[in-house]
Amino acid sequence: MLGRLVPIQAASTVWKTAAVGSSGPDFLNAAVMIETELAPEGLREQILRPIENLLGRIRTRDPNSPRTIDLDILVYDGEILEPDLWNYAHIGVPVAEILPDLTHPETGESVSHIAEQLITQSRIENTDLKLHWTSPTRNII
C-alpha cells in the first residue's frame, strides 16, 4: 500500500519480536526507505496515518497497546528521529539492514554493530516473510 503512494528504495526482512511495554502478542517489524519531498509531519499526516486508519488502527491512550499496524518515521534525511533506534532490537535490527552505516551521533557506532548486540540481548527472530511493493500510482506531492 505504501509503495503505491511513495517510491520505496529498500526494505528489510520482517522480524518477529515480543511486544515492548505490554503483555500483548508478538509484533512483526520491518523497515523501509522511501523517497519523498514531504516534510516529516506531512508524510505522517498525508500518507502514514491514512494507511494506518485504512488498515484498522485504533489509537488508544496506551502507546504500547496491540494494534493492527504502526508506521513511524525513524530516520529522515539522515537525521535520527527515533532515539530508541539504538536501544530496541525491533527498531534497530530492521533499520540496520537498509542503513547499515548509519552512526550513533555521540558514540559513532554503526547501527549494524549495535544491531548485532541487540540480536544477542533480545528475543527477535527473522521470519520468511518479505515485504512486497509496487510503484506509485498517483502523484501525491
Percent of the chain with pLDDT over 90: 61
Q: Where are the alpha helices (DSSP H) in the chain?
A: 40-43, 49-54, 89-98, 111-121
Give the pLDDT score at 65. 61
On average, the pLDDT of the chain sits at 87
- Place 63 in a pLDDT band, splitting at 50, 70 and 90: low
Which pLDDT tens digit goes with each residue over 6-32? 999 999 999 998 877 777 788 899 999
From 72, 78, 59, 83, select the one nearest 30 (Cα to Cα): 72
Check pLDDT > 70 for residue 46. Answer: yes
Q: Has residue 117 been placed in a domain?
A: yes
Look at the chain and report how many structural domains it folds into. Answer: 1
Which residues are catalytic, by number?
57, 67, 70, 72
Identify the CATH number of the domain in which residue 78 sits.
Answer: 3.30.70.560
**pLDDT classification of 57: cutoffs 50, 70, 90:** confident
Domain housing 25: 2-126
The answer as to whether 132 is a domain residue is no
Which residue matches cell numbers 549494524? Answer: 112
Report the pLDDT value the prediction gives residue 140, as an integer from 0 to 100: 45
Which of 22, 5, 112, 119 is CA-nearest to residue 66?
A: 22
The answer as to whether 135 is a domain residue is no
Q: Does a structural domain hold residue 96?
A: yes
